[in-house]
Amino acid sequence: MKMTLTGATGFLGSALTAQLRTDGHELRILSRNPRGRPGYFAWDPVAGQPPEASLAGADAVIHLAGEPVAQRWSPAVKAAIRSSRVDGTRHLVEALTTLSPRPQVLVCASATGYYGDRGAEVLTEQSKPGRGFLPDTCKEWEATADLARALGIRVVKLRTGVVLGRGGGALAKMLPPFRMGVGGPLAGGGQWMSWIHVQDMVRLIGWAVSNQGVAGPVNCVTPNPITNKDFTRILAAGLHRPAFFPVPGFALKLLYGEMASVLTESQRVIPQAALDLGFQFQRPELGEALSDLL
């Protein structure tokens, strides 16, 4: 297939790009810094529409671009997080209106942050959104992606949890303190974490592109969410290190400000849509996923 990707140089995008190329797909990459590389096109998602040549003839568009959430939030950072997702997606959909033929499918990133802080409530794609900055951003982001449905394009919205992989993402931030033996649960550790192995995430995206029965929101998480306390215990055991240093919530707030809510809010998310449509996870249990990654 001919595919156009955004966010292809990030942690997840790099893994996805490598796999798609291995599978023989023809890729065109939208990037802020194409550096003259073949198949790369310059695009600032906030500034306007991508070049028509980057989309012409594409069978699928995979849209992962967005300002990183894992940074201390200021009003300017929050505006950039929202704009890079909502305005960037709107500009992409506007560019699709001029194409003939149009792509068959738009696979657009979203996040489990859609659900907000929900305690131990089991959440599926049918659950209502939460309240707050991230839920509101995700709702607007997904609604903007859905505008492509009026163009006859199948739209899939990837509500992604914590993606675990080598060399980047959440795990890369967790490993240094745990390897030094100073890791521990965050804010008591009772919050639920919804996670996925990076290779299962890559497989889910490919599955969403090729399976015409997949549409709407898809929770991109393992069927086995886990509390932060249990996650800490399993990670420490995998590294043969203790985990005796809990991090209190006030310390996270001092360090990260409002963004600390991402680390302390509880989301017990189940990938019901993927399970109902027969997707098979290769690394559904945290122990085996970390054993592979470590």
- Go through the domains of the chain in sequence order and give each one's CATH number: 2-164+193-224+268-283 (3.40.50.720)
pLDDT value for 264: 94
pTM (two decimals): 0.95
Q: What is the pLDDT of residues 105-150, one digit of tens each?
A: 999 999 999 999 999 999 999 999 999 999 999 999 999 999 999 9
Q: Which band of pLDDT confidence, cut at 50, 70 and 90, is reported for residue 152? A: very high
Q: What is the distance, to the nearest Å, from the Cα of residue 218 to the centroid of all Cα atoms in its chain?
A: 11
Q: Which amino acid is at 212?
A: Q
Mean pLDDT of 162-178: 91
- Band (pLDDT 50/70/90 cuts) for residue 270 is very high
Query: Is 185 within 8 Å of 247 (Cβ atoms)?
Result: yes
Q: Mean pLDDT of all residues in the chain?
A: 95
Give the pLDDT confidence of 177-216 residue by residue, as tens digits. 989 888 899 999 999 999 999 999 999 999 999 999 999 9
